[in-house]
A and B are shown apart, each in its own frame.
Chain A
Amino acid sequence: MKQQIVISGIGGQGVLFVTRILAVAAIEKGMEVLTSETHGMAMRGGTVISHVKVGPFTSPLIRTGQADIGLFLHAGNLEVHRLFLKPGGMIYMNAAKGGDAEAIDATRIAREHGSLVIANLVLLGFAVRQGRLFCDLATVEAVLKRISPVEQLETNLVGFKLGIA
């Protein structure tokens, strides 16, 4: 199986953590994986994007119009990064209303549970539950348990489960 995923957000929203979860999940599934990330100055609140390619790829970057799935942590980025999606590609977005995208108000849900930083995991849980990603809920939950910092683990799991609910 081959799958190309873009994760789009702004610096500080936890794009890198979601990227890492998906990459480790791919390994758990015994699949090859390549990712590409944004580091440096853009992480100070600027627009950031990660690419995740699961399967036999050699390039870490996704070309225009090739992504199967897009996870958008910031709705405003749709106009910036939508061009990576192929026609018919699925978009899961952190927003109250989604238009043609599947939307969940992850920021509101995270805030209501007292921790804005888990909005990324709310969206991830929501996206995995739709069944289009290469990985299943149990795998992702196991990865989350394994790679979360100890003091953050409980909050992270809450976020992920809120997304699934």
Chain B
Amino acid sequence: MINHSEQRILMGNEAIGRGLVEEGCTLAAAYPGTPASEILSSVVAFAKETGAALHTEWSVNEKVACETALANSMAGRRSAVAMKQVGLNVAADPFTRATYLGVKGGFILIAADDPGPHSSQTEQDSRLFAHFAKAPVFDPSSPREAREMVAEAFTLSEKYEIPVMLRPTTRVCHARQNVACRPPQSREQKANFEKNPGRWVATPQFLTELHRLLNGKLDRIAKEPAFNPVLAPGGGARPQTCIVASGVAFAHASELLDTLGPEGRIDLYQVRLAYPLHQPFIEEIRKRYEKILVLEETDAVIEMQLGDGLVCGRGSGDVPRQGELTPDVIEEILRKFLDLPAAPAVSAAKKGIRPSLCAGCGHRAAFYAIRDTFPAGIFPSDIGCYTLGMNFGAVDTCHCMGACIGQGAGFYHAYAAGGTDFPTIVVTIGDSTFFHAGIPGLINAVFQGARFILVILDNATTAMTGHQPTPQLGVRADGSEGRKVFIPDIVRACGVRRLREIDPYDVEAFTAALKEADSFIRSPEGGIAVLIAGHPCIVNRAAREAQVVFAMSITDDCVGCRACIDTFECPAILFDGEENRAGIDQNRCIGCGVCVHVCPAGAIRAEGEKR
């Protein structure tokens, strides 16, 4: 029976946030990214609720977040930094050196992986990154376990003065479970930075020794009895074989073996610390079993440490080398491994509806004008809601945070090398992405003489990950006021000489500005022209209610050409195939009026102000 007063239903990310607050974390920094975004907002909420004093921040990017948290740890205080897996690529520099130098106050880097992927640009396994950086890594199988591992990670980090990674996956981050909540521990953690240049400055002459110390720490951690994988015995039914699993793959496997009844009886080990793998365990199971099935996401980290010969896994082809290990995939693997008949095949389901920019989204208006003005243009873009511009041909590339600006320059140099003529390159980047990694690219492009139009899609929020504020809004993670940092100031400071700010809802003015920008970039004194397309995200209710609302309709002039459907893709415009005409879905239309510009037959009408 569950005790109501202590149990709460928490999402994995909330459980991690709760754990950080309860375990006396004094600084938590993050940059939003699915599936990690809710970790920091939970820290903020639980700190408020419990009165715990800690510094929280949405940092400008993951590298800065990691460095900020590391210094707080150097001052002897518990610290955490949270990010999605590709955020770790951005934070790679501070993180890889941090293992050599070590930490003082417990330090946890939370990297949330996304097997599948559901909302990411790679399927990379952060545990492999931990192995590369020589950091211990916990691999939770449930929200509750993720919460427990926060405590274990802090303890381990402080015992060995080593940064520790907690690696949940999407299915842990976005699972909900009842989790016991306790009051936060009170810990004396006064800032006390002890100077030690040989360690904190560590020039190359110190590093071989630091590396030796690090290797020694890992050897000792690999012998810590607490991290010996936990055995759920199979009762001797299949004595020569076992399964070793970690993360949510363990949770799936454990439940599946239960449902298989007597035929599912087999020794099942759960690995909680995926690296370094418990050394005596490796020796023992290599002696005891003839065949070992390894189930882990997303790459072969445990498998690699177990060594050759006995393992059925990714190397042997028994486990798919890409994609998510869903319960259905694991069932197939298990049945084959246990020599059971395959489960009945299921016919493939129809694909769902693809995501699309919201009705009334300012990005759609900007994209429409860009593609309409430059039909032969090249459109590098970036990561955010606006990647969805690909649905209607206004986004040609999406690579990694901030890449579009470097790509804009690269495309310019590629075409300019062939002569004087070059296609118009229109780069689109969101406001938050511009702060994150766009600025160095812009300085470089200006200095290297690239010529393109940069459109900063400023919707005054980090929309896709759940509306975290950018530095321009002047609101910090905890709601307190911060000094605003303005995008136009940054653009000018990067050396840009042509800057205009326009609301993309005004399609005519925006189109004129694009044409003017094109003349500028092609003029003898030209360079980079920046347009800031400012329109607040209409998911923000206050912003939506503040704008003019038109009553939209489509008249009998509609000829069924589908231009509005194919070039604009507004979810509020539907096509009736039987009647061969378009219509407005009044349930979804917010009356922005932008689509009036889209219809070649002039059949879309915006009347008055509805409100």
Q: Residues of A at under 8 Å CB distance from B?
A: 10-12, 19-20, 23-24, 26-28, 30-47, 57-65, 76-77, 79-83, 107, 111, 116
Q: Are B571 and A81 in contact (CB under 8 A)?
A: no
7 contacts between A and B (CB under 8 A): A36-B176, A38-B118, A44-B464, A61-B252, A63-B331, A79-B349, A80-B351
Contact of A63 with B327 at beta-carbon distance under 8 Å, contacts A27-B7, A41-B464 already known? yes
**Chain B nearest Cβ from A43, distance in angstroms:** 7
Q: Are A39 and B355 in contact (CB under 8 A)?
A: no
A79 is contacted by which of B7, B141, B177, B350 (Cβ under 8 Å)?
B350
**Chain A nearest Cβ from B171, distance in angstroms:** 6
B177 is contacted by which of A33, A39, A45, A46 (Cβ under 8 Å)?
A33
Q: Which of B171-194 contact A (CB under 8 A)?
A: 171-172, 174-178
Q: Are B355 and A58 in contact (CB under 8 A)?
A: no
What is the bound-complex CA distance between A73 and B346, given in angstroms?
A: 24
* CB-based nearest B residue for A51: B175
What is the bound-complex CA distance between A46 and B352, given in angstroms?
A: 7
| Chain A residues, Cβ within 8 Å of B248 | 59-60
Q: Are A107 and B387 in contact (CB under 8 A)?
A: no
Q: Are A24 and B9 in contact (CB under 8 A)?
A: yes
| Chain A residues, Cβ within 8 Å of B519 | none
Q: Are B350 and A58 in contact (CB under 8 A)?
A: no
Q: Are B349 and A34 in contact (CB under 8 A)?
A: no
| Chain A residues, Cβ within 8 Å of B444 | none
**Chain A nearest Cβ from B394, distance in angstroms:** 16
* CB-based nearest B residue for A84: B349
| Chain A residues, Cβ within 8 Å of B352 | 46-47, 77, 80
Q: Are A37 and B587 in contact (CB under 8 A)?
A: no
Does any Cβ of A come within 8 Å of B133's Cβ?
no
What is the bound-complex CA distance between A23 and B10, given in angstroms?
A: 10
* CB-based nearest A residue for B144: A34
What is the bound-complex CA distance between A147 and B4, given in angstroms?
A: 15
Q: Are A11 and B355 in contact (CB under 8 A)?
A: yes
Instruction: Please encode chain B, from 567 to 611, with 1 for each CB lying within 8 Å of some chain A CB and 0 for all others.
Output: 000010000000000000001000000000000000000000000
What is the bound-complex CA distance between A111 and B585, given in angstroms?
A: 13
What is the bound-complex CA distance between A4 and B110, given in angstroms?
A: 30
Q: Are A27 and B4 in contact (CB under 8 A)?
A: yes
| Chain B residues, Cβ within 8 Å of A116 | 587
* CB-based nearest A residue for B120: A40
| Chain B residues, Cβ within 8 Å of A82 | 349
A39 is contacted by which of B35, B172, B357, B385 (Cβ under 8 Å)?
B35
Q: Are B176 and A45 in contact (CB under 8 A)?
A: no
What is the bound-complex CA distance between A76 and B349, given in angstroms?
A: 12
Does any Cβ of A come within 8 Å of B251's Cβ?
yes
| Chain A residues, Cβ within 8 Å of B9 | 20, 23-24, 26-27, 33
| Chain B residues, Cβ within 8 Å of A27 | 2, 4, 7-9, 178
Does any Cβ of A come within 8 Å of B425's Cβ?
no
What is the bound-complex CA distance between A116 and B141, given in angstroms?
A: 37
What is the bound-complex CA distance between A45 and B119, given in angstroms?
A: 14
Q: Are A44 and B327 in contact (CB under 8 A)?
A: no
B174 is contacted by which of A33, A39, A45 (Cβ under 8 Å)?
A39
Q: Which of B489-535 contact A (CB under 8 A)?
A: none
**Chain A nearest Cβ from B161, distance in angstroms:** 35
What is the bound-complex CA distance between A70 and B381, given in angstroms?
A: 38
Does any Cβ of A come within 8 Å of B547's Cβ?
no
Task: Kindly list 6 other residue pairs between chains A and B, CB separation below 8 angstroms, not including A39-B34, A61-B252.
Answer: A23-B176, A27-B4, A35-B177, A37-B175, A37-B176, A41-B388
Residues of A contacting B: mostly: mixed
| Chain A residues, Cβ within 8 Å of B2 | 27, 30-32
Q: Are B1 and A30 in contact (CB under 8 A)?
A: yes
Does any Cβ of A come within 8 Å of B557's Cβ?
no
Instruction: Give the most central of A32, A40, A41: most B CB within 10 Å.
Output: A40
What is the bound-complex CA distance between A147 and B387, given in angstroms?
A: 33
Q: Are A34 and B346 in contact (CB under 8 A)?
A: no
What is the bound-complex CA distance between A36 and B172, given in angstroms?
A: 8
| Chain B residues, Cβ within 8 Å of A26 | 9
Instruction: Please encode chain B, from 336 to 362, with 1 for each CB lying within 8 Å of some chain A CB and 0 for all others.
Output: 000000000011011111111110000
| Chain B residues, Cβ within 8 Å of A46 | 352-356
What is the bound-complex CA distance between A47 and B119, given in angstroms?
A: 13
Does any Cβ of A come within 8 Å of B279's Cβ?
no
| Chain A residues, Cβ within 8 Å of B472 | none
B327 is contacted by which of A24, A37, A47, A61 (Cβ under 8 Å)?
A61
* CB-based nearest A residue for B350: A79
| Chain A residues, Cβ within 8 Å of B255 | 57-59
Q: Are B171 and A64 in contact (CB under 8 A)?
A: no
Q: Are B587 and A32 in contact (CB under 8 A)?
A: no
**Chain A nearest Cβ from B526, distance in angstroms:** 36
What is the bound-complex CA distance between A47 and B172, given in angstroms?
A: 20
Q: Are A45 and B358 in contact (CB under 8 A)?
A: yes
What is the bound-complex CA distance between A23 and B177, given in angstroms?
A: 8
Does any Cβ of A come within 8 Å of B124's Cβ?
no
Contact of A42 with B355 at beta-carbon distance under 8 Å, contacts A30-B1, A57-B255, A116-B587 already known? yes
The 10 closest A-B pairs by CB, nearest first: A47-B352, A40-B119, A46-B355, A40-B34, A60-B175, A79-B350, A44-B355, A35-B176, A59-B255, A59-B252
**Chain B nearest Cβ from A33, distance in angstroms:** 6
Q: Are B328 and A63 in contact (CB under 8 A)?
A: yes
A20 is contacted by which of B35, B176, B350 (Cβ under 8 Å)?
B176
What is the bound-complex CA distance between A62 and B175, given in angstroms?
A: 12
| Chain B residues, Cβ within 8 Å of A10 | 353
Q: Are A45 and B356 in contact (CB under 8 A)?
A: yes
| Chain A residues, Cβ within 8 Å of B470 | none
Q: Are A60 and B328 in contact (CB under 8 A)?
A: no
| Chain B residues, Cβ within 8 Å of A33 | 9, 176-178
